[in-house]
Amino acid sequence: MTRKYFGTDGIRGKVGEPPITADFLLKLGWAAGKVFASEGHGFVLVGKDTRISGYMFESALEAGLTAAGVDTHLLGPMPTPGVAYLARTLRAQAGIVISASHNPYYDNGVKFFSVQGTKLPDDIEQKIEHYIDSPMTTVESSELGKAKRLVDAAGRYIEFCKASIPTRFDFSGMKIVVDCANGATYHIAPHVFSEVGAEVIVIGAEPNGININDECGATQPNKLVAAVLANKADIGIALDGDGDRLVMVDHKGEIVDGDELIYIIAKARLDAGLMSGPVVGTLMTNLGMEHGLKRLGINLLRANVGDRYVLEMMSEHKGILGGENSGHIICLDKTTTGDGIIAALQVMAEMHDSGKSLHELKSGMQKYPQILINIKTPKKVDINTDAGIQKAVRAIEEKLGDAGRVLLRASGTEPLIRVMVEGEQADLVKKYAQQLAEDVKKSIDA
């Protein structure tokens, strides 16, 4: 389906530039409200992260939904996976999240969840887009929607997160540093981890509207590394602005990315006899993770980049675990979408049961060196049919054999071709990546 407004993860962009404007969000709220109203009577949840523009867009969405005759329950700051959970447990018609995830404060966006706590089906998005391009109307005054604040939303989600691990787990004696990225988890994550017994040191939990993801969180964990080492903590937990990404730090100050965390959770599920189906990664998942899972007897499937595609493939192949190296980790046996807090609890549970440190647990797989080079293209090139490019790729693949991997991707947003080479030996990977990039550029120029 070709979408005019919706991307793979909702609608996102710079605040004040179409479509991320107050008037568009008003129309979006109305359009969504018209669709939800036609599906039956109910209410819609609206949550947001801590961006300053969230106030403006929350009001605009509320007004649009009200004009369409739909009731709104406002959640205030709430992690994206928290909205997905509440939409499901409160039987809402839908959940809406105002967030640009890991982006800077001057970006914002909107994501939707169904009553099942999953992304909206394509046909519903298509209907919303139809109404966006239609004249806006207002229902009779007696039929206008009502709005109220759900005051216990954070508490409900905190309890849900804690319930993702058995009550036998007591993490007293474990010292952790939690970086909330000055985002939507600032008033939730510290409570979750302290209430399961851990000693919690909190950073990045003082949002001011413009410091979300600013030199903190899962995309920039340097402050977390420093805090873990300074406090001699057992682990560090870095979430992103809307709480759906997780990156961890071990006691030595080494960053543990999404691939390594997925491997740890997969092995824990396997050891407990709870693993089923393949693990689903993406085209960017490190080859070292694929080989590590293979040694455990677990297959890895690769989806296109984007948690939407990971989730689709997990459902298709009946998998319970998947995600991306960026830290989107989906534990379908625990929840319906990527959730940084719940993923962190699964890793902590395995540390508890195995008696091993995070550093020891990640050693089961070895990440392969990975080089990514972007090549600017003055014209559109079909990398799959260009004979020169395909010949260059085959030449490098033959040299790497089973010890490496080549990936070429055309950027969906920029005139770029991304050349990625990974393998066991860093010097060879760098050499082959540079060679392939040169050959691809020559083929394009020719």
What is the pLDDT, as a whole number, of residue 430?
A: 94
Q: CA geometry: angle at 363 spanning 102 and 305, to 5°?
A: 35
The pLDDT score that the predictor gives to residue 409 is 86
415: CATH: 3.30.310.50
Q: Please give the Cα distance from 137 to 33 (Å, whole number).
A: 11
Unique residue bearing structure tokens 């929350």: 58
Query: Quick one: pLDDT at residue 293?
Result: 97
The domain boundary, picked from 151, 185, 203, lies at: 151
CA torsion angle 247 249 253 254 (round to 10): -60
Q: Please indicate, yes or no, whether residues 334 and 376 belong to a single structural domain of this protein.
A: no
Residue 255 φ/ψ region, left for φ over 0, alpha for ψ in the -120 to 50 degree band, beta for the rest = beta
Sorted by sequence, the CB contacts under 8 Å of residue 55 that are 6+ apart come out as none
Q: Residue 232 in contact with residue 122, Cβ under 8 Å?
A: no
Specify the pLDDT at position 444: 84
Number of structural domains found in the chain? 3
Catalytic entry in 53, 99, 101, 164: 101
Same domain for 175 and 240, yes or no, is yes
Distances (CA, A) of 240 to 7, 234, 417: 20, 20, 27
- Any domain includes 4: no
Each of the 446 residues of the chain gets a pLDDT tens digit; together they read 567 899 878 999 999 999 999 999 999 999 999 999 988 778 999 999 999 999 999 999 999 999 999 999 999 999 999 999 999 999 999 999 999 999 999 999 999 999 999 999 889 999 999 999 999 999 999 999 999 999 999 999 999 999 999 999 999 999 999 999 999 999 999 999 999 999 999 999 999 999 999 999 999 999 999 999 999 999 999 999 999 999 999 999 999 999 999 999 999 999 999 999 999 999 999 999 999 999 999 999 999 988 889 999 999 999 999 999 999 999 999 999 999 999 999 999 999 999 999 999 999 999 999 999 999 887 777 888 888 899 999 999 999 998 899 999 887 667 789 899 999 999 999 999 999 999 998 888 87
Closest CA to 329 of 383, 116, 320, 156: 320
C-alpha 134: how far from chain center: 32
Q: Regarding beta strands 370-376 and 71-77, do their DSSP bridges make them parallel or antiparallel, or are they unpaired?
A: unpaired
**Is 114 designated active site?**
no
Claim to verify: residue 274 and residue 395 sit in the same structural domain: no
User: Which 3-state string (H, E, C) describes 209-270?
Assistant: CCCCCCCCCCCCCHHHHHHHHHCCCCEEEEECCCCCEEEEEECCCCEECHHHHHHHHHHHHH
> Do residues 307 and 181 both lie within one domain?
yes
Does one domain contain both 224 and 259?
A: yes
Which of 151, 176, 205 is where one domain is finished? 151
**Is the domain of 71 the same as that of 88?**
yes
**pTM, 2 dp:** 0.93
Residue 70: count of CB within 10 angstroms of its CB: 28
In a domain, 73, yes or no: yes
| 2, part of any domain | no
Residue-number span of the structural domain to which 334 is assigned: 157-362
* Final residue in a domain of this structure, among 122, 151, 180: 151
Please give the Cα distance from 424 to 173 (Å, whole number). Answer: 38
Q: What is the dihedral of CA 126, 132, 133, 134, to 10 degrees?
A: 110
Domain match, 119 and 209 both: no
Q: Sign of the C-alpha dihedral, residues 113, 11, 40, 307? A: negative
Tokens for 39? Answer: 């599906």
